[in-house]
Structure 1
Amino acid sequence: MIKRYPFYIKAPVILLGLVITVFMLSVLRDILVPLAFASLIAILLNPLSNRLERKLPKIVSIILSMLIAILVVMGLMYFLSSQIAHFFDNVEAMKQKFSELLHIIQQWLEKTFGISSSKQVQMLNDAAKGSKAMIGQTLNGVLGILSVVFLIPVYTFLIMLYKALILNFLYEVFSEENQKKVGEILSETKAAIQSYIVGLLIETSIVAVLNSAALLILGVQNAILIGVIGAILNLLPYIGGIIAIALPVLMATLTTDGFTTQLLIIGAYALIQFIDNNILVPRIVSSKVQINALISIVIVLLGAALWGVPGMFLSIPFIAVLKIIFDRIEGLKPWGKLLGDNIPTEHMGQLKKLRRKPAKVVEE
């Protein structure tokens, strides 16, 4: 006999569980973030490793697949570093233009809001003092990145090496009657993450080419660098797209006169976003799990609050895995529907009213 507890008992228990989970995720951030990235990379490299394993020993195939991935990443980093080197060619001209714009803004603030230049300088100094803690966090973040560079390859190798051990544990930890459902969840999760990541890589490459081409045509300086950065930022749903547009607009403001180029940039990026959202994402990012816009924005912000920038990138794959699990468990299916992108035409209250109407007609 299933014992059902009232809502006023279940709600505090669920809330307490969420608080403990969030606290543990925050405390164990330095361990879990590289482990999460390593898990995604291991799932992505698994097909290549399995193909190499047909002719080579397991350890050799894992090392070769990781070396291929590292070479690709190093090639991308070399390309970006060469573009960053060109960025500093016109730094002095941009500084001068920035000083002119700052002077214009100061005059406008003084004329519109009555804030004197000295008061504005004082406000900037106060803001600078308040940012010292943030600078310290940034330096800690740099040290964290250096540690992640060494941890992620080690984690990835060990996860791929002990893949069978981990899978057997997940099967054996559940009862035999649930093993079929566990197998379905694991296979669907692997397929969803693989298709999601591969689709994102292809989509990002196309968006980078479109961004760079548009900025080159408009004559924006450092067009390729800004176009690639914009494509990477586009990985963050909705939020990244706004920042991606702001970067070339700021560059055009610092390097050109007037506002024609800025308006053309906004129009070009709006067209690229339309192509991306309506053509590239539906056809290329062929993930089996579709998360609605509201949940995407909320989960990205929550990921940023919990784990910073890495949390923003990890949030969507994490919520996709949760949706797969929710869809497979009977009591959690409503949560899976809430995360999904399938919008019902009518809510349950309307359906119940429609079912009652024929009964009323008969009585009349």
Structure 2
Amino acid sequence: MEIRQFPFYFKSTIILFGIILLVYAMASLRGILVPFSFALIIAILLNPLANYFQRKGIGKIFAIIFSMLIAFLVFGGIMYFISSQIIGFSEKLPILKNKLFELLVHFQAWVQTTFGISLARQVQLVNEAFSSSNGLVGQTLGSALTTLLLVFILPVYVFLLLYYKTLILNFIYESFAEKNSGQVADILRQTKSAIQSYMVGLLIEALIVATLNSTALLILGVEYAILLGLLGALLNMLPYIGGIIAIALPVLMATVTKEGYSTQLGIIIAYVAIQFVDNNFLVPKIVSSKVQINALVSILIVLLGGALWGIAGMFLSIPFIAIVKIICDRVEGLRPFGKLLGDEVPTKYGGLLSGRRNTKASLSEEIVKNTK
């Protein structure tokens, strides 16, 4: 029987139409997919801990509950610390607002003198900017509702994903031909280990960066140094874009609370140095060496994630593109896409790679390997 070959333009049109439908479905089902995506990542992280408890003779249900309880205590402790810092920050908010207003008046006078824009025109431009962003109120309300949904539904998702893990894996196995079962098992095993090591590496990296940020800000005498350092570490998970915001926050705080500009300059120098250490030493040594994403893809996927799912999408985009790269690297027909996403830069054409290649296991990969 002759197999009909469709022309390229027909196949590319079908693929493009499928991508459009997928993006539309992901945007429409945001309220369901966002908490499920976070739950999937948390379940992957807690899976080794649940397996450890089961090996110690604890039943499956109680092993999952104990794992979730430990995660809840750690997360609750971090949130308690952040909330206490925010309460202290809110007590000085009136003073900070007055100082910020004074700076704003000086800035308006500078703009009028330098660019010849009158104060009335400046106020008009600001009002137009605010009126054009009224839709942000609805987005903010939607984000609040999504956060509330996360609090209640996330633990349920995590528990059920861990409980039905075997059922889900068996479904994946049975979805492929029996002759491919060995390859599917190998892909799933390597993918799970790589994802776990990548996420563990991100957490370790964030802890180190938070410590470095807070130490630098404390030395420079910036108020709420620990809170700003921790926020900077969280924002650092957003490649390049998050780093810029992380620098802007303490610079703004120093501008409001201190005279002169020496502190702001010190903050910029310290954060640039920390970013250098992070990118050249921490990430290669700690984060999984198998899922490094190049700068172009990182920036593009963060922006696309933000456009699709807002702030949650920006944080979820990097772990999920890492998962896509892991799968592409292990499926024969998808390996060119894995190379395109990766950070190994070839110096020759024709698929010959002579760029960076990290063959030594990272710290996170060793940690995950030792928990098996």
The TM tier, using the shorter chain, reads: over 0.9
- 1:300–1:311 CA contact under 8 A, matched in 2: yes
- 2:294–2:342 CA contact under 8 A, matched in 1: yes
Residue 184 of structure 1 is aligned with which of 180, 186, 191?
Answer: 186
Q: CA deviation at 1:3?
A: 5.5
Amino acid at match of 2:28: V
Tell whether 2:46 aligns with 1:45: yes
Q: CA deviation at 1:273?
A: 0.7
Which residue number in structure 1 is paired with residue 299 of structure 2?
297
How large is the Cα RMSD of the aligned pairs? 1.7
Amino acid at match of 2:217: L
Residue 218 of structure 2 is aligned with which of 216, 219, 227?
Answer: 216
Which residue number in structure 1 is paired with residue 241 of structure 2?
239
Q: How many residues align?
A: 351
Which residue number in structure 2 is paired with residue 61 of structure 1?
63
1:12-31 Cα deviation digits (max 9, x unpaired)? 11111111111111111111
Amino acid at match of 1:41: I
Could you say if the C-alpha distance between residues 328 and 244 of structure 1 is closer, same or farther in structure 2, counting changes exceeding 3 Å?
same
Q: CA deviation at 1:178?
A: 2.2
TM-score where L is the length of structure 2: 0.90
Residue 335 of structure 2 is aligned with which of 333, 336, 345?
Answer: 333
TM-score where L is the length of structure 1: 0.92
Amino acid at match of 1:196: Y
Q: Percentage identity across aligned positions?
A: 61
Which residue number in structure 2 is paired with residue 317 of structure 1?
319
- 1:181–1:328 CA contact under 8 A, matched in 2: no
Could you say if the C-alpha distance between residues 310 and 287 of structure 1 is closer, same or farther in structure 2, counting changes exceeding 3 Å?
farther
Tell whether 2:179 aligns with 1:156: no
User: Which piece of structure 1 moves more, 249-258 or 99-108?
Assistant: 99-108
1:255-275 Cα deviation digits (max 9, x unpaired)? 111111101110001111111
Amino acid at match of 2:275: Q
Compare CA radii of gyration and give the structure with the larger one.
1
Amino acid at match of 1:7: F
Please give the alpha-carbon distance, in whole angstroms, between the structure 2 residues aligned to 1:42 and 1:32. 15
Please give the alpha-carbon distance, in whole angstroms, between the structure 2 residues aligned to 1:187 and 1:93. 55
User: Which piece of structure 1 moves more, 321-330 or 311-320?
Assistant: 321-330
Please give the alpha-carbon distance, in whole angstroms, between the structure 2 residues aligned to 1:14 and 1:339. 20
Please give the alpha-carbon distance, in whole angstroms, between the structure 2 residues aligned to 1:101 and 1:330. 59
User: Which piece of structure 1 moves more, 340-349 or 209-218?
Assistant: 340-349
Amino acid at match of 1:12: T
Could you say if the C-alpha distance between residues 349 and 6 of structure 1 is closer, same or farther in structure 2, counting changes exceeding 3 Å?
farther
Please give the alpha-carbon distance, in whole angstroms, between the structure 1 residues aligned to 2:292 and 2:16. 26
- 1:193–1:287 CA contact under 8 A, matched in 2: no
Could you say if the C-alpha distance between residues 263 and 162 of structure 1 is closer, same or farther in structure 2, counting changes exceeding 3 Å?
same
Q: CA deviation at 1:327?
A: 2.3
Please give the alpha-carbon distance, in whole angstroms, between the structure 2 residues aligned to 1:219 and 1:145. 34
Structure in which a larger fraction of residues adopt helix: 1
Amino acid at match of 2:256: L
Tell me, which stretches of 5 or more residues in structure 2 are unaligned? 354-372
- 1:195–1:287 CA contact under 8 A, matched in 2: no
Please give the alpha-carbon distance, in whole angstroms, between the structure 2 residues aligned to 1:145 and 1:346. 48
Q: CA deviation at 1:188?
A: 1.6
Q: How does 1:260-275 map to 2 (within 5 A)?
A: 260-275=262-277
Residue 254 of structure 2 is aligned with which of 252, 259, 264?
Answer: 252
1:112-171 Cα deviation digits (max 9, x unpaired)? 222211121122222222332202210221111101111110000001000110000000
